[in-house]
Amino acid sequence: MLVMLNEKIKVGAIFGTNGQIKPVWFKYKNSKILIKERIYQWKERKGSDTIFKFTVTEGVNIYEISYSKNNLEWKLIAIDEK
């Protein structure tokens, strides 16, 4: 079932020298979710902002998370719960 959230979250990520962003974990509902795989990633423009979007999994559920370059803010957009 797809659950739309659009909630701010804390994320541990690696920012590479070549501009790549690799989310490693995030916190949701007092749980630390370890990301096992980045399924897909893309960029979107919203006015002057660049939003980096990621589809990730911890091995069971699929999550869409995003990072705003202007706001330096991570959000959990949606969860596809199995």
Q: pLDDT (tens digit, 0 to 9) for every residue of the chain, 82 residues total?
A: 999 999 999 999 999 998 899 999 999 999 999 999 999 999 999 999 999 999 999 999 999 999 999 999 999 999 999 8
Q: Where are the domains of the chain?
A: 2-80
Q: Is 26 exposed, middle or buried (0-12, 13-18, 19+ CB in 10 A)?
A: buried
CB atoms within 10 A of CB 5: 14
Is there a contact between 6 and 19 (Cβ–Cβ < 8 Å)? no
- pTM for the model stands at 0.93
